[in-house]
Every structure is written in C-alpha cells, then in structure tokens.
Chains A and B, each alone.
Chain A
Amino acid sequence: MAEKTLAGVTIEIDDNGYMTNFDQWNKEVANALAKENGIEELTQKHWDVIEYIQKGVKDGVNLSIRRIGKSGVVDIKTFYELFPDGPLKKATLIAGVPKPSGCV
C-alpha cells in the first residue's frame, strides 16, 4: 500500500494507482487524478459518468463498457472520447473506485 498527496489530500493507493479508501476522494482529488492521466479538464459529461460509476459500485453493479454504454449517461463512442486510452480503467481510477475486472 502506497500513499501520495494530491490537491492537499493524502490518498492511499494500490499498485495500479487506484484509491483504496473512497472516503479520501473529493472533486479536487479527481481533478488531479484526471490531469495525471492526460485529461486536462473534467467537463459536466465527465462528472455524469463518474457519478454513474460511483453509484454503480455502491449498488454492487458489475461495471462494463457495455453497461455504461446502455446507461443513458453516455454512449460508447463518447465514453472513449471523454476518457481516451482505456475509458473504463481511467474513469474508475478518477472516480476513486476499484479497477473493474471484466474482460468485455
């Protein structure tokens, strides 16, 4: 378990850089994580996706790109545009939730 300080908050992260304590997450931390991963600014559309993901994790939903594409929040093409180079991995990392383990 490693720690790092982002936006004035010390966060615990796993080997892949995913936060392990959601209580430490806030919007400033999310902004900083986004910047680290090549997203300069989180738009409203990004926040909509992040909120959907956080709610999904809370409800125990098995998150997949397919499910997010059918959520009505964002279509698959836009999801890839919002979070380039691995949308599900990046979006979950920024949302402060565990990395999803699905293959589809």
Chain B
Amino acid sequence: MRIGKKMSEKIKKVSVICAKGSLEDVYAALVMTNGARMEGIEANLFFTFFGLDAITKKKMNKLHTATVGNPAMAMPGGLPFPTLLGSLPGVEAGVSAMMRKEMDKLDIPPVEEFLDMIHAAGGKIYGCKLAVDMFKLKEEDMYDDIEGVITIGEFYEKAAGGQIIFT
C-alpha cells in the first residue's frame, strides 16, 4: 500500500502568506509550510507587512507574543492574565522568552533554524516587495536563503495550481 493511497485527492501544493509578526502567527506559518514539505507537498512561504520580522535578521529570533489585547493569554496554571500586568515593561519580553523556551522543549526550532529547515526541505521563502519597500529593508537586513522579494502578481504566478493559506 502506498502512502496517501486512501486519500481521495492529495494536496499537491500550498502557498502560505504570513502577514503578522507575533510569535504565534509566524509559527503557524512555519509549521504549516514545513509540515507541507514533510508530506511531500510543494510549498511556498510569503512574508508581508509585520510578518517580514520573521525574515529580518535582527528580529527573527526575538519575536513576541502579545500580553495586551490577547484574550487567550493566561498565567502558568491557567489563571487569567491581567491586562494591566501585561502592559508593564519587560512582561511581554519575559512571557515571550518563556514561550520560546517551552517550544524548545517540544523540539520546535527557533525561527531562523525553522527557516533553514524549510529551505533545506525545498520550500521556497519570499518577501513581499511592497512591504519591503515600505519598511525600507535592504537585502543585507534579511534572512540569506530567501528566493527573492516579489510582487503580489509574481506571488500568484508561483501559487498557481495550488492552495493559498493566509495566517
């Protein structure tokens, strides 16, 4: 029996768009793209607007999760996380660092290593031209193994024939 034989129609290609720069949004995009490659699915990953932080060298390994305006935020143990506490200096950084540590325990790689894995797996990583221009990012500011900075039109060309996922 071949792998996947039972499924009626296998997904052949996905193009994931990551438009937000919070830890959880970026990881959703990374897991979905890498997971596609793990299943033998062709995968593109397109970063735009604040999602570009994930491929900006200085920021990629220091992404934060929001401690204010995040209703799902809870204290360790499940108690509600007071919004006022989340607004104190250093709290968001501390919470984010703790989350990164917990992920590491689960063998989830840091952002840069995750991108390396996707690249090694044959996944294609792109930046959005409009957002790169807007944030005045230079090539040397960005993760080395992106395929290029492309327009939305080029993105649709590359996504042709597959599914598009917006995280």
Interface residues of A (CB under 8 A from B): 2, 4, 13, 15-17, 36-37, 62, 64-67, 69, 75-77, 80, 84-90, 93, 102-104
Q: Which residues of A contact B35 (CB under 8 A)?
A: 103-104
Chain A residue with the shortest CB-CB distance to B116: A76
Q: Which of B2, B31, B113 makes the CB contact (< 8 A) with A17?
A: B2
Q: Which of A62, A93, A102 makes the CB contact (< 8 A) with B3?
A: A93
B148 at the interface (CB under 8 A from A): no
Query: A76, B117: Cβ atoms under 8 Å?
Result: yes
- Count how many pairs of residues, one from A and one from B, have CB atoms less than 8 Å apart in the complex: 64
Q: Which residues of A contact B91 (CB under 8 A)?
A: none
Q: Which of B2, B6, B107, B122 makes the CB contact (< 8 A) with A62?
A: B107
Q: Which residues of A contact B34 (CB under 8 A)?
A: 104
Q: Which residues of B contact A87 (CB under 8 A)?
A: 38
Interface residues of B (CB under 8 A from A): 1-3, 5-6, 31, 34-35, 37-40, 106-109, 113, 116-117, 120-122
Nearest CB in chain A: distance from B60 CB, A: 17
Chain B residue with the shortest CB-CB distance to A84: B40
Chain A residue with the shortest CB-CB distance to B118: A76
Best-buried of A62, A65, A75, A104 by chain B (most CB within 10 Å) = A104
Query: B38, A86: Cβ atoms under 8 Å?
Result: yes
Query: B1, A17: Cβ atoms under 8 Å?
Result: yes
Nearest CB in chain B: distance from A66 CB, A: 6
Q: Which of B3, B108, B117 makes the CB contact (< 8 A) with A86?
A: B3
Query: B1, A66: Cβ atoms under 8 Å?
Result: no
A-B contact pairs, 26 of them (CB 8 A): A4-B1, A16-B6, A17-B3, A17-B5, A36-B1, A36-B2, A37-B2, A64-B107, A65-B38, A65-B117, A66-B107, A66-B113, A69-B120, A75-B120, A76-B116, A76-B120, A76-B121, A77-B122, A80-B121, A85-B3, A85-B40, A86-B39, A88-B38, A89-B3, A90-B3, A104-B31
Query: B37, A37: Cβ atoms under 8 Å?
Result: no
Query: B40, A86: Cβ atoms under 8 Å?
Result: yes
Q: Which residues of B contact A90 (CB under 8 A)?
A: 3
Chain A residue with the shortest CB-CB distance to B108: A104
Q: Which residues of B contact A65 (CB under 8 A)?
A: 38, 117, 121
